[in-house]
Amino acid sequence: MEQRVGKKKFYNKMIQQNGFGLSTATRALVIGVAVIIVCVVCSLALYMSKQGKSAINTGTNQYNKMMEDYQELDRAMYDGLEVSGNEVGLLIGRMVSQGAYTEVRVKTKASDFVCYNYYYDEDKNSITNADKAEYLLATTLEKGADHYINPQADFLGKVIKNANGTIICIDFVQQ
């Protein structure tokens, strides 16, 4: 029995020396500090996740904008570009055959703007293919016509977008 009592004293002495025998106030202080540290770590984690989320949203928006620009690249490239009448005729044929939601207007030296594929309403900044609208579905091959597009002539392109940023019209003016 004395051996057991001796071992108990020994263990109690070891616990006190190693700090396990803390008073109640010291334990409460340690627990309080631990809680504060946990709260700080959690708040940092939430802050970082919000920052990451906003960075991801920004990246997604940039990706969507890039894809939108890429999808309309075949039409957007004509903005400020000088092309031949042959290229204008090919573009009109391509837009009509694809049924693209894009109107092509051509102004020659002999005529005012002529609409192809759709009719462009400048006041509303919109296009329509209604029955009453005046637009053509093909270029004329008759060289004497006012709206004849000379394949060797140069035309300056201009892209017109609607309120949503979608290209709805490409203007070509003979130079």
Phi, psi of 125 (to 5 degrees): 50, 50
List 4's β-bridge partners, or say none. Answer: none
The reply to whether the predicted model has a pTM over 0.85 is: no
pLDDT tens digit string along 104-145? 999 988 888 888 888 888 888 888 877 666 788 878 788 878
- Give the residue carrying structure tokens 């894009």: 102
pLDDT tens digit string along 17-41? 555 556 888 888 989 999 999 999 9
pLDDT at 170: 92
Is the distance from CB of 76 to CB of 159 less than 8 angstroms? yes
Minimal CA–CA distance to 173: which of 161, 158, 151, 159? 158
Length, in residues, of the chain: 175
Q: What is the C-alpha separation between 91 and 69, in angstroms, rounded?
A: 18
- CA-based end-to-end distance of the chain: 116
